């Protein structure tokens, strides 16, 4: 099995999870660390024994000794970097969201189809054991037809700074940062239905920035379910952790984080707790390990990843519709 050589573009917080995940894999090498702050790239490279660093992304675009890249930059650069690497025969892993808007997402899709190169999007909760356990329960029919869900993407008494709070670089605020986790998680559990309409109320209450820090979104799906999504930064309380999901079915109720379900019988109901492996943190390294292993498997097999183009674009369409709905104060049909 030949060695897969991968470049990490952007060496911020999330890049550490990706680097650890990749270095746990056989015949995989993190070959280059790239950051516009060269000293940051060098510190990152030293920590993970990466031999080469660079500060100019374009300087490695046409490198023939690189198989794939992981792009963890501000959202503004996701599409332009991805497109250039795809045109130069590199497979691409994009941190969420896939792009700044749906138009950019479609551009990535078009280039990927023309070049035959792969694109994976970092909706990592699809690799969580508890999320997959709930998906299996829903698929089994034990909860009946899912008619309503609630999902959470909120930071309690905390919020990011830097580029996350700048619309020019991030495209949006808490919805683009945290709400996307809740949206993709419930869509995955429900079997990836298509959104029919979106209604949203999105505001800024907690900070002096030009992006949102509070949002309530209602999504109607083509399978008949409706999802309420809450996004936020700096909220004094959250009803569930990141990607926490509640599912209300005709035969029972399911919850992810905490993970359990209630089955309704003719005369009584039963509650079942799930036995899940312990995590060192909510967004545990094990999720990213499985995510990176899957990405590398796709590179070797030439199988289009999921979550990838279709899943990433679906989330972009919903987020874009939500911002438009909040601006117009009306239901947006997709």
Q: Which two tokens stand for residue 156?
A: 């309690």
The superfamily in CATH containing domain 125-279+315-333 is: Dihydrodipicolinate Reductase; domain 2 (3.30.360.10)
The reported pLDDT for the residue numbered 263 is: 85
Residue range 91-150, pLDDT digits in tens: 999 999 999 999 999 999 999 999 999 999 999 999 999 999 999 999 999 999 999 999
Q: Which two tokens stand for residue 89?
A: 């025969």
**Are the C-beta atoms of residues 50 and 30 closer than 8 Å to each other?**
yes
Mean pLDDT, rounded, of the chain: 96
Q: What angle do helix axes 102-115 and 78-87 make, rounded to 10 degrees?
A: 10
Task: Provide the whole-model pTM.
Answer: 0.96
How confident is residue 271, by pLDDT bands cut at 50, 70 and 90? Answer: low
How confident is residue 191, by pLDDT bands cut at 50, 70 and 90? Answer: very high
- d(Cα 288, Cα 283) in Å, to the nearest integer? 9
Q: Which two tokens stand for residue 111?
A: 């280039």
Residue 199 has pLDDT above 70, yes or no: yes
Q: What percent of the chain clears pLDDT 70, i.e. is strictly above it?
A: 97
The reported pLDDT for the residue numbered 150 is: 98
Selection from 21, 316, 73 nearest residue 92 by Cα? 73
Residue 21 has pLDDT above 80, yes or no: yes
How confident is residue 90, by pLDDT bands cut at 50, 70 and 90? Answer: very high
- Provide mean pLDDT across the span 196-220: 98
Show me where the domains of the chain are located. Answer: 4-124+286-305, 125-279+315-333
How confident is residue 1, by pLDDT bands cut at 50, 70 and 90? Answer: confident
Residue 268 has pLDDT above 90, yes or no: no
Q: Which CATH class is domain 4-124+286-305?
A: alpha beta
How confident is residue 279, by pLDDT bands cut at 50, 70 and 90? Answer: confident
How confident is residue 273, by pLDDT bands cut at 50, 70 and 90? Answer: low
Sequence-ordered strand ranges (E) for the chain: 4-9, 28-34, 52-54, 68-71, 91-94, 119-121, 146-156, 195-203, 214-221, 226-235, 245-249, 252-256, 260-264, 269-273, 332-333
- Provide mean pLDDT across the span 8-21: 98
Residues in contact with 329: Cβ distance below 8 Å, sequence separation at least 6, in sequence order? none
Residue 272 has pLDDT above 70, yes or no: no
Q: Give the three-state DSSP class for 108.
A: helix
Cis status of the peptide bond prior to 321, with omega within 30 of 0: no
């Amino acid at each position: 099995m030949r060695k897969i050589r991968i470049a990490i573009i952007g060496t911020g917080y999330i890049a550490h999870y990706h680097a650890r995940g990749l270095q746990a894999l056989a015949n995989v090498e993190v070959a280059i660390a790239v950051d516009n702050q060269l000293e940051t790239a060098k510190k990152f490279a030293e920590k993970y024994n990466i031999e080469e660093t660079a500060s100019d992304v374009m300087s490695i675009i046409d490198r023939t000794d690189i198989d794939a890249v992981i792009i963890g930059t501000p959202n503004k650069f996701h599409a332009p970097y991805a497109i250039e690497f795809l045109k130069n025969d590199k497979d691409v892993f994009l941190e969420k969201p896939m792009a700044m808007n749906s138009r950019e997402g479609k551009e990535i899709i078009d280039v990927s189809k023309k070049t035959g190169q792969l694109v994976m999007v970092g909706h990592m909760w699809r690799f969580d054991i508890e999320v997959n356990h709930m998906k299996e329960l829903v698929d089994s029919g034990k909860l009946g037809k899912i008619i309503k869900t609630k999902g959470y993407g909120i930071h309690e008494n905390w919020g990011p700074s830097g580029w996350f709070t700048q619309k020019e670089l991030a495209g949006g605020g808490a919805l683009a940062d945290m709400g996307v986790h809740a949206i993709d998680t419930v869509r995955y559990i429900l079997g990836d239905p298509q959104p029919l309409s979106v209604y949203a109320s999105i505001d800024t209450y907690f900070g002096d920035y030009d992006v949102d820090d509070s949002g309530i979104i209602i999504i109607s799906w083509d399978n008949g379910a409706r999802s309420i999504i809450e996004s936020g930064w700096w909220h004094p309380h959250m009803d569930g952790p990141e990607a926490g999901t509640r599912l209300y079915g005709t035969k029972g109720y399911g919850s992810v984080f905490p993970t359990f379900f209630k089955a309704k019988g003719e005369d009584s109901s039963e509650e079942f707790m799930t036995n899940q492996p312990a995590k060192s943190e909510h967004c545990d390294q094990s999720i990213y390990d499985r995510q990176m292993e899957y990405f590398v498997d796709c590179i070797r097999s030439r199988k289009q990843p999921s979550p990838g183009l279709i899943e990433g674009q679906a989330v972009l369409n919903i987020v874009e519709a939500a911002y438009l709905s909040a601006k117009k104060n009306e239901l947006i049909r997709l």
